[in-house]
């Protein structure tokens, strides 16, 4: 069995699917699983993505789940491990980016690694170690109010250093402009002083290309999916993979279509409002929630007759103010778990009712729904846009899924994606 050259460990399913989709669009065969035990059964794909719901669970749990994924990929002989997290570096002072990276350094035997969350095309940039969303520091953006991972410090060197005993440094932008040889010398000098982690300034796409060239032979790299787009051409130049293959397409999937939204991001709320212009949407108020069973039953009763006339939407998404009220009643984690449980169990009931096309908004929501549906392996389609991944299950009666980052995607994404699943091209 051929050893993979690239093993990705993603801390949520939306990001993992986006990464796989980028590789597939570049002509790289890429396996995608949610269960590390399936890694050994995959074929000769040069890239494998293991996506698990580890972003906001406890650091100890995230480390344990990541260890299973890393050991499975390393047992397959993965040449490089890539830890994928969000462009907004979603984490808290307890983790999970730092503790997971500490583990991966140990398991991979890496001497050092870099952190590249940036997505310049989406105006997620890092300068002097500070993370910007557009013209705003992340601490002055809506991310400061995130219900699970509020980002109140824009200095990623400080943010990461609070999560790890490993010494954190900076690859400042002048170093990237100075060229590859200069970068390598600077890293060697800093490593001699004990620095093992490097936050990478990244403003332009050319910075991503430079960082990809720098890190393509490293045992461990970490970052957002955007840098991954720059690796395939390097691998081809190095003779590690053949010339690009034709972009594969996904099969058409019929059956009823549903949007399930749990994200509270402003973009998801806009997408729901746009979807509601043409399709009915049920908004579940967690403050009025009874038992999970009764809420799922009520939502299913609402959806069944409407599905005969086309797609519907069901959402626990709310404004940050409404989320704060729910958190006051249930606690921060309790409110999130309640919403995820309702939507996850509802997805199971909807599948039994004939739904075969799902668009899911929110990384945590996506993980919960895929877990509830018992999906462990997916065939991913080529890249359809930032934060968006489309896939089908590998079974006789397939289900089509679009797992979307809450913050991303065009405003008409929901309707357009559900319609695209009906056609052979299938991936946005």
Higher model confidence: residue 191 or residue 324?
Answer: 191
* 206 and 275 together in one domain: no
Question: Does residue 208 share a domain with residue 93?
Answer: yes
| Residue 227: pLDDT over 70 | yes
Is residue 242, in this structure, part of any structural domain at all? no
The b/e string for 78-99 (b: 16+ C-beta within 10 A; e otherwise) is: bbbbbbbbbbbbbbbeebbbbb
> What percent of the chain is predicted at pLDDT more than 70?
96
How many angstroms separate the CA atoms of 207 and 23, rounded?
A: 19
Distance, CA of 62 to CA of 177 (rounded, Å) = 35
- The SS3 of residue 252 is coil
Rounded Cα gap, residues 201 and 218, in angstroms = 18
- For residue 1, is it within any domain? no
Q: Using CA atoms, how far apart are residues 317 and 381, in angstroms rounded to an integer?
A: 27
209 and 262 within one domain? no
335 and 228, same domain (yes or no): no
Report the number of secondary-structure helices (H) and strands (E) in the chain: 14, 18
Say whether both 216 and 292 belong to one domain.
no
- Whether residues 163 and 299 fall in one domain: no
> From CA 78, how far away is CA 7, in angstroms rounded?
6
pLDDT of residue 426: 40
Identify whether residues 174 and 275 lie together within a single domain.
Answer: no
* Local structure of 416: helix, strand or coil: helix
d(CA 185, CA 33): 38
Same domain, 286 and 374: yes
pLDDT of 254-267, one tens digit each? 999 999 998 888 89
Count structural domains, the chain: 2
Q: Which of 189, 205, 237 lies at the terminal end of a domain, its last residue?
A: 237
* Structure confidence at residue 428 (pLDDT): 41
The most distant pair of C-alpha atoms in the chain lies apart, rounded to whole Å, by 67
Q: What residues make up the domain containing 303? A: 256-420
Lowest mean pLDDT among 2-11, 52-61, 285-294, 370-379: 285-294
SS3 14: helix
- Across residues 318-335, what is the average pLDDT? 71
For residue 247, being part of any structural domain is answered with no
Does residue 426 sit within a domain? no
Query: Do 260 and 216 share a domain, yes or no?
Result: no
Domain assignment present for residue 218? The answer is yes
pLDDT for the residue 321: 67
Q: What is the mean pLDDT of residues 5-26?
A: 94
With cut-offs at 50, 70 and 90, classify the pLDDT of residue 243. confident
Residues 165 and 104 in one domain: yes
What is the rounded end-to-end Cα distance, in angstroms, of the chain?
32
Give whichever of 41-55, 145-159, 203-217 has the largest mean pLDDT: 203-217
What mean pLDDT is predicted for residues 270-292? 88
Last residue of a domain, one of 237, 271, 293: 237
Distance CA 222, CA 215 (A): 10
- Taking residues 232-236, what's their average pLDDT? 95
What are 160-202's pLDDT values in tens digits?
999 999 999 999 999 999 999 999 999 999 999 999 999 999 9
Average pLDDT over residues 121-144: 95
In this structure, what CATH number is given to the domain that contains residue 392? 3.40.980.20
Q: Are 304 and 215 in the same domain?
A: no
Please, which pLDDT band fits residue 395 given cuts at 50, 70 and 90? confident
Q: Is residue 340 part of a domain?
A: yes
Mark whether 118 and 177 lie in a shared domain.
Answer: yes
DSSP states along 169-205: EEE-HHHHHH-HHHHHHHHHHHHHTT--EEEEPB-SH
Q: Tell me the CATH number at 152.
A: 3.40.50.10840
394 in a structural domain: yes
Residue 427 within a domain: no
Query: Distance between CA 314 and CA 204 in Å, rounded?
Result: 38
Last residue of a domain, one of 188, 208, 237: 237
């Amino acid at each position: 069995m051929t050893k993979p050259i690239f093993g990705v460990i993603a801390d949520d399913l939306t990001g993992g699917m986006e990464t796989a989709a980028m590789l597939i669009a570049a002509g790289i065969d890429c396996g995608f699983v949610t269960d590390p035990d399936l890694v050994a059964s995959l074929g000769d794909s040069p890239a494998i993505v293991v996506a698990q719901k580890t972003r906001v669970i406890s650091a100890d749990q995230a480390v344990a789940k990541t260890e299973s994924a890393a050991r499975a990929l390393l047992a397959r002989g993965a040449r490089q491990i890539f830890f994928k997290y969000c462009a907004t570096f979603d984490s808290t002072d307890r983790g999970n980016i730092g503790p997971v990276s500490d583990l991966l350094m140990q398991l991979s035997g890496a001497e050092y690694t870099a952190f590249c969350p940036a997505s310049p095309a989406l105006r997620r940039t890092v300068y002097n170690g500070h993370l910007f969303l557009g013209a705003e520091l992340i601490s002055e953006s809506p991310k400061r109010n995130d219900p699970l991972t509020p980002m109140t410090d824009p200095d990623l060197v400080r943010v990461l250093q609070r999560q790890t005993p490993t010494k954190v440094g900076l690859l400042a932008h002048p170093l990237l402009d100075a060229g590859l040889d200069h970068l390598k010398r600077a890293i060697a000098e800093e490593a001699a002083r004990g620095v093992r982690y490097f936050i990478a300034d990244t403003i332009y796409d050319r910075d991503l290309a430079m960082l990809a060239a720098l890190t393509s032979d490293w045992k461990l790299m970490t970052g957002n999916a955007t840098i991954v787009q720059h690796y395939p051409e390097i691998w081809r130049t190095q003779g590690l993979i053949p010339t690009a293959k034709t972009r594969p397409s996904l099969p058409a999937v019929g059956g009823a279509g549903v949007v399930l939204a749990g994200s509270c991001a402003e973009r998801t709320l806009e997408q729901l409002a746009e979807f509601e212009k043409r399709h009915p949407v049920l908004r579940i108020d967690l403050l009025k929630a009874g038992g999970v069973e009764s809420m799922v039953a009520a939502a299913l009763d609402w959806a069944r007759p409407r599905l005969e006339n086309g797609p519907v939407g069901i959402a626990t998404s709310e404004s940050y103010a409404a989320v704060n009220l729910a958190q006051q009643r249930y606690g921060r984690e309790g409110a999130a778990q309640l919403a995820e449980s309702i939507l996850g169990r509802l997805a199971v009931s909807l599948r039994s009712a004939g739904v075969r096309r799902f668009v899911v908004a929110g990384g945590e929501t996506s993980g919960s729904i895929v877990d509830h549906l018992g999906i462990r392996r997916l065939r991913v389609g080529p890249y359809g846009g930032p934060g968006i991944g489309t896939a089908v299950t590998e079974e006789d009666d397939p289900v089509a899924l679009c797992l979307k980052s809450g913050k991303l995607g065009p405003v008409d994404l929901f309707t357009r994606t559900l319609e695209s699943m009906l056609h052979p091209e299938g991936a946005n």
